Amino acid sequence: MTADVAYAIDNYVKVSGNNEFLINYGAEILIETARYWVSRFTMTKARIYIT
């Protein structure tokens, strides 16, 4: 779900040209989405797992 929201924000800004949305709202959503995904990773010497 979080990846879908990030994808939708990217598409919306590209199609609408509404950079104000990206600056005022979208950037925070994208940053929090990235933080969520980073928190889901577990790293070992051999692999990276999504938990």
Q: What is the pLDDT of residues 1-51, one digit of tens each?
A: 888 999 999 999 999 999 999 999 999 999 999 999 999 999 999 999 888
Q: What is the largest CA-CA distance in the chain?
A: 43
Distance in Å from the first CA to the final CA of the chain: 16
Question: How confident is the model at residue 2, as a pLDDT?
Answer: 83
Pairing verdict, β 41-43 and 48-50: antiparallel
Contact yes or no for 37/49 (Cβ under 8 A): no
